[in-house]
Chains A and B, each alone.
Chain A
Amino acid sequence: MNTIGQAIVNGIMIGGIYAMVGMSLNLIFGVMKIVNFCQGEILMISMYMSYVLNEKVGLDPFLSIPLVAIMMFCVGALLQMFLITRSMREEDDSNVLFLTCCLSIFFANLALLIFKSDYRTAKSVFENKVVHLGTMNISSPKLLSFVILMVVTALIFLMLKYTTLGKQIRAASQNPRGAEVTGIKAKSIYAITYGLGAAIAGIAGSCLMSFYYVFPTVGNIYGTRSFIVVTLGGLGSVLGAFFGGIVLGLLETLGAVVVGSSFKDALVFFIFILILIGKAEFNQKKQRG
């Protein structure tokens, strides 16, 4: 019983990070309808930013969150303005797909070039501190990350619902041309959205840096998982990404208990495939009848 309880707690905690990366992807996916295969690498860049700030300035990963988020916003907005908008086409999204694929290769190897392939860690004040919850143990960086996730989710949710920018983003997502007619510049909204997505990934990266290590291909692990989160939670839904992330985290840790840790990844992918196909079949049936 205790192992399962611990697995559930661990699953929720790791799910928090998945949720945050998924949310960053979902904002981009939902608004621009583009597949962004370099979101994992965006996370990797922010992890390295947090690492450098920790190594050179001595900033705690949690304290570097605002700085990393602002820098990632700029990175994301520039990326969107100069590359992705140019290859976006209404009828065919395959070009963006390939572009982001190549960007992910580019970023991963740039990191390899600059930082070598070593695994690097950052030092945090919260490291090695454990919170006891009944018989369960939770490491405090993970708990703090989870709290930050909840705050971020709430902020993004409120922002999209009540602010002018949020309304503009939703308008551009529902009908880009209609939004243009009402005076919203869809292209700048796209740049802001991508920037926001990258900034959320920046927050996730800084949190992750407090208890995980960074290496050039770390984006692979989180990139594919963020797609699973988005599919689980539904396109464009912030709360969906939140719960999708936690469900994925639980699936992974509980799967590890059930089928053994070596097959848990395969299990996660098979479940993902089943959900994806199941959802599509369901939608088709709904359309017909």
Chain B
Amino acid sequence: MKLNKKLLMLVALLLIIVLLPIFITVPYIISIFITTFLTISCSLAWNILGGMTGQISLGHAAFMALGAYITTMLLNYFNISPWLSIIIVFFIVGSLGAVILSPCFVLHGAYFSLVTIAFGEAFRNLFLNWELAGKGQGLLLTYGKPSFALMRFGSKAPYFYISLVMMAGYYLVIKRIDHSKLGYGLKTIREDEDTAKAVGINPLKYKMIATFISSGMIAVCGVFYACYVRYVNPDIMMTSKSVEYVLPAIIGGLGSVAGPLIGGAILVPLSEYLNASLSSIANGFNLVVYSAIIIAVIVLQPSGITGWYRHSKLKTRINTYFSKGKTNNAK
């Protein structure tokens, strides 16, 4: 009966989340949920390349921003619906990511991170000076009446559901990848590339596939971002933005599928809370406290929350709770 009990709790949790916008009418709280879902989606996408494959990219914000820019430009200049640009963006940015990062896979560890930072900064500098992309001011999405086809809504509730579906979809996709041939191949590459080669895995091919999926998925997050915020500028390509998507995965546990989910669910509300309560006192105060908390977690608990959970008493307690029904049933 183990599965049923767990499934029941999951369904209940999901139902509560789905019904939330009906009970909570404060737009601010809904917007926190949307930001949380979006950040978790980005972090999940990053985790395919960063966590699963072990290629720590610090330029993923550029891929997200590319998705947002492409969506905005397609809508503003050609009147193409964002729903359509989801597919366009996924393939274009995914292929772009795989192509431009493929020569970088000869680099290992920190050097790979450096090259991704350089790519992110190079893209940001290009967009800062590109006339069609609005230069430093960025681009506004055209305003108008709410319309489903243009992903333009009057209230926050539809955005809430779209981001929720996106996050759940990403989670399921990555869960699937985690236990597939691709996932095992990627994890082998992370642990030891020579071994991977010896068992017949082509590291370059696998890394390119991982980059394609990862950058394509984070670019789709960019589509949602553009439609939700309705304003894109080169600031969203900053390296610090990339770090924002990396942090949930680190705090939650690098490489585990649930890591970004748990990390994001803790970090984003925490950052919003600190922002609301401290930034009015002095500029920057909230981020000082926020980064100090993260530093403490990294120093004291390097394997993240899922790593801690794996060795904690809480796990045994939960497991015994769930296995009670199972053992009774077996009798």
* Chain A contacts to B: CB under 8 angstroms: 35, 83, 86-87, 89, 93-95, 97-99, 101-103, 105-106, 109-113, 116-117, 216, 220, 224, 227-228, 231, 262-263, 265-266, 269-270, 272-273, 276-277, 280-281, 284
Give the residue name and chain of the B residue nearest to A115 (CB).
B284
Known: A87-B299, A224-B117. A277 touches B106 (CB 8 A): yes
Give the residue name and chain of the A residue nearest to B286 (CB).
A109
Assess whether B103 is in contact with A265, with CB atoms less than 8 Å apart: no
In Å, the complex CA distance between A280 and B118 comes to 16
Assess whether B284 is in contact with A35, with CB atoms less than 8 Å apart: no
Q: Which residues of A contact B246 (CB under 8 A)?
A: 98, 101
Assess whether A35 is in contact with B125, with CB atoms less than 8 Å apart: no
Interchain nearest-CB distance for B58 vs A (Å): 8
- 10 new A-B contacts at CB < 8 Å, known A97-B56, A106-B287, A224-B118: A101-B246, A111-B284, A263-B125, A266-B125, A269-B121, A269-B122, A269-B125, A273-B104, A277-B103, A281-B106
Interface residues in B106-120 by Cβ distance below 8 A to A read: 106-107, 109-111, 113-115, 117-119
Say yes or no for B151: interface residue by CB 8 A criterion: no
In Å, the complex CA distance between A87 and B240 comes to 21
Assess whether A273 is in contact with B285, with CB atoms less than 8 Å apart: no
Say yes or no for B292: interface residue by CB 8 A criterion: yes
Assess whether A276 is in contact with B288, with CB atoms less than 8 Å apart: no
Known: A87-B299, A94-B254, A97-B56. A273 touches B282 (CB 8 A): no
Known: A105-B240, A263-B129. A116 touches B283 (CB 8 A): yes
11 intermolecular pairs with C-beta atoms under 8 Å apart: A93-B109, A102-B295, A105-B291, A106-B287, A113-B284, A224-B118, A263-B125, A269-B122, A269-B125, A277-B107, A281-B106
The contact string, 1 if C-beta is below 8 Å from chain A, for chain B 274-312, is 000000001111011011101100110010000000000
Assess whether B121 is in contact with A224, with CB atoms less than 8 Å apart: yes
Known: A93-B109, A105-B291, A224-B121. A112 touches B298 (CB 8 A): no
The contact string, 1 if C-beta is below 8 Å from chain A, for chain B 238-257, is 01100100110010001000
B287's partner among A97, A109, A262 (CB-CB below 8 A) is: A109
Give the residue name and chain of the A residue nearest to B58 (CB).
A101
Interchain nearest-CB distance for B233 vs A (Å): 16
Interface residues in B262-279 by Cβ distance below 8 A to A read: none
Interface of A, secondary structure class, is: helix
Q: Which residues of B contact A97 (CB under 8 A)?
A: 56, 110, 113
Assess whether B111 is in contact with A280, with CB atoms less than 8 Å apart: yes
In Å, the complex CA distance between A19 and B301 comes to 36
Interface residues in B81-134 by Cβ distance below 8 A to A read: 103-104, 106-107, 109-111, 113-115, 117-119, 121-122, 125-126, 128-129
In Å, the complex CA distance between A266 and B234 comes to 13
Interchain nearest-CB distance for B66 vs A (Å): 15
In Å, the complex CA distance between A110 and B290 comes to 11
Q: Which residues of B contact A220 (CB under 8 A)?
A: 239
A284's partner among B56, B104, B106, B247 (CB-CB below 8 A) is: B106
Interface residues in B145-200 by Cβ distance below 8 A to A read: none
* Chain B contacts to A: CB under 8 angstroms: 54, 56, 58, 103-104, 106-107, 109-111, 113-115, 117-119, 121-122, 125-126, 128-129, 239-240, 243, 246-247, 250, 254, 282-285, 287-288, 290-292, 294-295, 298-299, 302
In Å, the complex CA distance between A86 and B295 comes to 12
In Å, the complex CA distance between A231 and B250 comes to 27
Assess whether A35 is in contact with B288, with CB atoms less than 8 Å apart: no
Known: A112-B283, A265-B125, A269-B122. A101 touches B243 (CB 8 A): yes
Interchain nearest-CB distance for B293 vs A (Å): 9
Q: Which residues of B contact A263 (CB under 8 A)?
A: 125-126, 129
In Å, the complex CA distance between A35 and B110 comes to 6
Give the residue name and chain of the A residue nearest to B51 (CB).
A94
Interchain nearest-CB distance for A16 vs B (Å): 22
Q: Which residues of B contact A101 (CB under 8 A)?
A: 58, 243, 246
Q: Which residues of A contact B113 (CB under 8 A)?
A: 35, 97
Closest A-B pairs by Cβ, 10 of them? A112-B284, A269-B122, A266-B125, A35-B110, A109-B287, A109-B284, A106-B291, A113-B284, A280-B106, A105-B291
In Å, the complex CA distance between A194 and B291 comes to 21
In Å, the complex CA distance between A18 and B323 comes to 61
Known: A101-B243, A269-B125. A106 touches B114 (CB 8 A): no
Interchain nearest-CB distance for A241 vs B (Å): 15
Q: Which residues of A contact B56 (CB under 8 A)?
A: 94, 97
B291's partner among A86, A102, A272 (CB-CB below 8 A) is: A102
Interchain nearest-CB distance for A40 vs B (Å): 11
Assess whether B292 is in contact with A106, with CB atoms less than 8 Å apart: yes
Assess whether A99 is in contact with B115, with CB atoms less than 8 Å apart: no
Q: Which residues of A contact B302 (CB under 8 A)?
A: 87, 89, 95
Max count, chain B CB within 10 A of own CB: residue among A93, A106, A111, A116:
A106
Assess whether B104 is in contact with A277, with CB atoms less than 8 Å apart: yes
Interchain nearest-CB distance for B275 vs A (Å): 12
